Structure 1
Amino acid sequence: MSAIRQRSDATRTSGPLKETSPKPRKHESSLTPFIRTVKEAKDKQHITLPI
């Protein structure tokens, strides 16, 4: 029973994800300045960050 329930949940979540596919692009554009500042901080402090 639990396995069937998990499957139905997976199909339920996959449906809305297809509709909201354009959203991640906005997310990336908003994240780029943050990544830039992190890279600047990395250059200043000489700390190796996994980016």
Structure 2
Amino acid sequence: MELLGILLLGLWVLSAAVRAIVNDGRGHTPSVRSTAPWTAGNLPSAPYSAG
């Protein structure tokens, strides 16, 4: 009878772990999509001239 209780407890822990992993998205992070063009902030668009 004790073995059955341990087995059921183990199955419950295993199912809880699987549920937590599935709800977490299996660690998948979506890629970042950018629609704005690249900018360098407030840096000049042409290099400074030497003279």
* TM-score after normalising by structure 2: 0.36
* TM-score after normalising by structure 1: 0.36
